[in-house]
Homo-oligomer: A and B are copies of this chain.
Amino acid sequence: MSNVGTPKRRGPYAKSAERRRSIVDAAFEVFASRGYRGGSLQDVADRVGLSQTSLLHYFPSKADLLVAVLNKRDAEADTGPIAEDGDFETTLVEQARFNESVPGLIELYSVLCGESVTTDYPGREYFVSRFARLRGEYSTELVMLREQGRLRAGVDPERAASSIVALWDGIQLQWLLDPSIDMAACLKDYLDSIILPEPEGAKLR
Question: Contact residues of A with B, CB < 8 Å?
Answer: 32-38, 107, 110-119, 124, 127-128, 131-132, 135, 152, 155-156, 159-160, 162-163, 165-171, 173-174, 176-178, 181-182, 185-186, 189-190, 193-194
How many angstroms from the CA of A144 to the CA of B60 in the assembled complex?
A: 58
Number of copies: 2
Within the assembled complex, what's the spacing in Å between the Cα atoms of A163 and B194?
14
Pairwise interchain contact B38-A117, C-beta atoms closer than 8 A: no
Q: Report 24 cross-chain contacts, Cβ distance below 8 Å, ordered by A residue.
A: A33-B118, A34-B37, A34-B118, A34-B119, A38-B118, A107-B117, A110-B117, A111-B114, A111-B118, A114-B173, A117-B173, A124-B177, A128-B177, A128-B178, A131-B174, A131-B178, A135-B174, A159-B185, A159-B189, A160-B189, A162-B174, A162-B186, A163-B186, A167-B167
